[in-house]
Chain A
């Protein structure tokens, strides 16, 4: 029961005289709680905690009308949308992730300067000298990946439950814009560590911009995005500003439009609960209402707690955000890829149609317009995006029932399958071949961590087992007390001897001590030079050998020796 102030407002002394001090303390506390909660008095808080039903009139809806934060939230939900299905809470999770990214991002901004001269050094400082620096960075990175996943799944869910249909077409369109912003937000953050991974992933991603037709416009778009023909100081600053100000502000704005529309139309019920063509989300019968306070609020808080637990525990024990070598514009790592959510674009650029025709033994068509970078990298993705935006307006099937939407569901599944396939085709595992010797060297000791092979087999050898010497795979005699070294040498031998492109191939491995605590590991691969399927012979009748060499250095404290 709410208490009323007696008029006129008495002094504290008089209050105490009149009511006793216990009651006065309660009155003041009650007023404080009522103000902070924008309308829920202390007695009602007690009722909520005890799980009692609200009185009439219900004071628990007050925060929705009086408070700023909750005024955008509905005061009750339909009971059918409070379970895991049909929403899976993906929209809520996306929003939470955005908040977590903002908070962790501000923490990281404190220690970061967007300049190629110091950006990488700042990253090392965050990892080496900032308490919790690694944890916060890992949470930020893991959260970014999770946000992309959550937003994508949210879109798929909306499609499969047909929640995009009338009257929610515009909500869907804003959602597609939010998806694009989320991707670009994540992508713009990718560049900031200024390591080889980020530099080349973003170089690939932005190379599409140049292909914008016509060429003159493409050049301008490229210059605007990168600040120069190639990514450098200007490009880093631009991406930084996109990442910390421009895209978050835009996303925040569009998010409110999106959420306003969600509330305005109500959360769509599971398709099977409504008659075909009906939309009853806003007509919730009283017995189906679940009040926001306290039930939904507690549920949402629980999801928030679970999400934070997932991110913190995941980042602390299972996930490390990658940091490779300092960005080097002069040295493109083998097997460079775009971020995983843009791999499908990279897959498209590998000309899947031509490859398919080729595999089927069919002649390729004479025109090359459709397999150009302009078409595959800009026009086709643009058309896909446009289609996604207007898709609900083109869908004239009013039924949301699964059984009435067989074609749409099949189309959706085909879309997901095509996306997955193109993503696979974007990875270096598909249709990227360098010469066989380079592939072997990359597999065993890449200069940068490789998307396919990681740090490489050589770096799994513990430092103590790198016993100096020369090891020839034709006649392997590795030292007995170095089992891991022996295993890697055996693998190298097997790998080279079974490679059809390295006829009579063998490797000579030289391990030497460059400085105490620093060893040099060199692999020289030799194989017979072939001509028309026959080994080329020198005047003495011996096969002419080709050689490919690479050396890396391994330091005792380099943190190697793991699998």
Chain B
């Protein structure tokens, strides 16, 4: 139909047009594409952050950022409230993102006073490789994206069951304890009345002599009986059961080996808020379990 030269001209024209049209199409949609990619990469950062959080953070801050008494404060909504408080009370001038990033990367050199009445066994360690931690800078950024996502999403609705906490009241009568359920509480197989798992085993081992943060509880029943007869004992307990109860509800009443187990003079490493999580039944069951550790 056409000679070779004409066919070549037609072919070249079509191909050039196709290329130009393609570039034009890319041009027109480039803004949306970049926005889409940005959202996608942020989503991937959040996903990676979630995996890292599960691996490194959830043992102290809880799987859903609800905190673990004695180990780490709640992040959702704690970290956001804490940041607002810092801004208002101490003229803290950094951004929320940087506040979180710096806290993760460089850790907390001193123990936080993050929540009133809470004392944490150890300060936040450094996490960034820049400060001797295990995580790369991009992993820190992913974690920050994950934590910030709580705020953009709003605090997750966690229904809190209504219950009467034992608190620090030592006079409240306890029902008879079930050592089986106490053991299940210890092993975090059943939850406390507050809906959170009991965090005892995070700091106390059941192996004789093993010190995680607090002393090993192996043989605690026998030891409790000795403690109340010790000359320096200043508490009110008359029986081993009462001693254990006092230690849980009012850990500052008597601190064994303060050099080792006190966070500050007169303040035990053991948090004083554990009773807020427990019903009288929880406490009785735990005591019954601990009394089996002769």
A514 adjacent to B50 (CB under 8 Å): yes
B12-59 CB contacts (< 8 Å) to partner A: 12, 15-16, 18-19, 22-23, 25-27, 30, 33-34, 36-44, 46-48, 50-51, 54
A131 adjacent to B47 (CB under 8 Å): no
> Which of B50, B149, B156 lies in contact with A520, CB distance below 8 A?
B50
A125 to chain B minimum Cβ distance, whole angstroms, is 10
A554 adjacent to B47 (CB under 8 Å): yes
User: How far is A51 from B3 in the complex, measured between Cα atoms in Å?
Assistant: 12
A134 adjacent to B48 (CB under 8 Å): no
User: Contact string, A132-143, partner B, CB cutoff 8 A, digits 1/0?
Assistant: 111100000000
B12 adjacent to A553 (CB under 8 Å): no
B50 adjacent to A128 (CB under 8 Å): no
> Which of B12, B18, B33, B40 lies in contact with A557, CB distance below 8 A?
B40
Chain B residues, CB < 8 A from A117: 137
Q: Which of A117, A325, A518 has the most CB of B within 10 A?
A: A518
> Which of B18, B30, B54, B139 lies in contact with A313, CB distance below 8 A?
B18
A131 with B22, Cβ < 8 A, contacts A555-B43, A556-B43, A557-B42 known: no
Q: Tell me if B64 is interfacial: C-beta within 8 Å of chain A.
A: yes
B50 adjacent to A316 (CB under 8 Å): no
B15 adjacent to A129 (CB under 8 Å): no
Q: Tell me if A299 is interfacial: C-beta within 8 Å of chain B.
A: yes
Chain A residues, CB < 8 A from B36: 559
B38 to chain A minimum Cβ distance, whole angstroms, is 4
A326 adjacent to B136 (CB under 8 Å): yes
Which of chain B's residues has its CB closest to A294's CB?
Answer: B5
> Which of B15, B30, B44 lies in contact with A555, CB distance below 8 A?
B44
A51 adjacent to B138 (CB under 8 Å): no
A149 to chain B minimum Cβ distance, whole angstroms, is 20
Q: Tell me if B231 is interfacial: C-beta within 8 Å of chain A.
A: no
Q: Tell me if A545 is interfacial: C-beta within 8 Å of chain B.
A: no
> Which of B30, B139, B153 lies in contact with A515, CB distance below 8 A?
B153
> Which of B12, B26, B64 lies in contact with A316, CB distance below 8 A?
B26
User: How far is A558 from B39 in the complex, measured between Cα atoms in Å?
Assistant: 8
Chain B residues, CB < 8 A from A552: 47, 51
Q: Tell me if A516 is interfacial: C-beta within 8 Å of chain B.
A: yes
A516 with B47, Cβ < 8 A, contacts A124-B41, A558-B40 known: no
Main DSSP-derived SS at the B contact region? helix
Chain A residues, CB < 8 A from B44: 325, 555, 558
B30 adjacent to A131 (CB under 8 Å): yes
A157 to chain B minimum Cβ distance, whole angstroms, is 23
Q: Tell me if A221 is interfacial: C-beta within 8 Å of chain B.
A: no
Q: Tell me if A436 is interfacial: C-beta within 8 Å of chain B.
A: no
Chain A residues, CB < 8 A from B22: 312-313, 316-317
User: How far is A302 from B8 in the complex, measured between Cα atoms in Å?
Assistant: 7
User: How far is A305 from B138 in the complex, measured between Cα atoms in Å?
Assistant: 41
A240 to chain B minimum Cβ distance, whole angstroms, is 19
A312 with B34, Cβ < 8 A, contacts A301-B12, A514-B50, A515-B156 known: no
B19 adjacent to A309 (CB under 8 Å): yes
B26 adjacent to A558 (CB under 8 Å): no
Which of chain A's residues has its CB closest to B76's CB?
Answer: A515
A127 with B23, Cβ < 8 A, contacts A134-B33, A518-B50, A552-B47 known: no
A325 with B48, Cβ < 8 A, contacts A117-B137, A559-B43 known: yes
B92 to chain A minimum Cβ distance, whole angstroms, is 25
Q: Tell me if B209 is interfacial: C-beta within 8 Å of chain A.
A: no
B30 adjacent to A132 (CB under 8 Å): yes
Which of chain A's residues has its CB closest to B13's CB?
Answer: A305
A558 adjacent to B47 (CB under 8 Å): yes
A515 with B150, Cβ < 8 A, contacts A309-B18, A551-B54, A553-B51 known: yes
Q: Tell me if A472 is interfacial: C-beta within 8 Å of chain B.
A: no
Which of chain A's residues has its CB closest to B14's CB?
Answer: A309
B196 to chain A minimum Cβ distance, whole angstroms, is 17
Chain A residues, CB < 8 A from B27: 131-132
B106-123 CB contacts (< 8 Å) to partner A: none
User: How far is A282 from B33 in the complex, measured between Cα atoms in Å?
Assistant: 54
Q: Tell me if B159 is interfacial: C-beta within 8 Å of chain A.
A: no
Which of chain B's residues has its CB closest to A117's CB?
Answer: B137
Which of chain A's residues has its CB closest to B54's CB?
Answer: A551
Chain B residues, CB < 8 A from A317: 22
User: How far is A515 from B157 in the complex, measured between Cα atoms in Å?
Assistant: 10
A306 adjacent to B25 (CB under 8 Å): no
User: How far is A132 from B23 in the complex, measured between Cα atoms in Å?
Assistant: 9
Chain A residues, CB < 8 A from B16: 305, 309
Q: Tell me if A279 is interfacial: C-beta within 8 Å of chain B.
A: no
Q: Tell me if A121 is interfacial: C-beta within 8 Å of chain B.
A: yes
A312 with B47, Cβ < 8 A, contacts A128-B41, A134-B33 known: no
User: How far is A328 from B51 in the complex, measured between Cα atoms in Å?
Assistant: 14
A128 adjacent to B149 (CB under 8 Å): no
User: How far is A70 from B153 in the complex, measured between Cα atoms in Å?
Assistant: 65
Q: Tell me if A233 is interfacial: C-beta within 8 Å of chain B.
A: no
Chain B residues, CB < 8 A from A305: 12, 15-16, 19
A210-258 CB contacts (< 8 Å) to partner B: none
Q: Tell me if B11 is interfacial: C-beta within 8 Å of chain A.
A: yes
Chain A residues, CB < 8 A from B146: 515
A517 adjacent to B34 (CB under 8 Å): no
A121 adjacent to B46 (CB under 8 Å): no
Which of chain A's residues has its CB closest to B3's CB?
Answer: A51
User: Contact string, A304-323, partner B, CB cutoff 8 A, digits 1/0?
Assistant: 01101100110011000000
A273 to chain B minimum Cβ distance, whole angstroms, is 21
Q: Tell me if A164 is interfacial: C-beta within 8 Å of chain B.
A: no
Q: Tell me if B176 is interfacial: C-beta within 8 Å of chain A.
A: no
B282 to chain A minimum Cβ distance, whole angstroms, is 25
Chain A residues, CB < 8 A from B138: 120-121, 326
B15 adjacent to A557 (CB under 8 Å): no
Q: Tell me if A36 is interfacial: C-beta within 8 Å of chain B.
A: no
A308 with B19, Cβ < 8 A, contacts A518-B50, A553-B46 known: yes
A94-149 CB contacts (< 8 Å) to partner B: 117, 120-121, 124, 127-135
Chain B residues, CB < 8 A from A520: 50
User: Contact string, B127-162, partner A, CB cutoff 8 A, digits 1/0?
Assistant: 000000000111100000010011001101000000
27 interchain pairs, CB-CB under 8 A: A51-B5, A124-B41, A127-B41, A131-B27, A131-B30, A134-B37, A135-B23, A135-B26, A299-B8, A302-B11, A305-B12, A305-B16, A306-B11, A309-B16, A316-B22, A316-B25, A325-B44, A326-B136, A326-B139, A515-B46, A515-B50, A515-B156, A517-B153, A518-B149, A551-B54, A553-B46, A557-B39
Known: A128-B34, A308-B19, A313-B18. 7 other contacts (CB 8 A): A124-B41, A127-B37, A299-B8, A313-B19, A325-B48, A551-B51, A558-B47
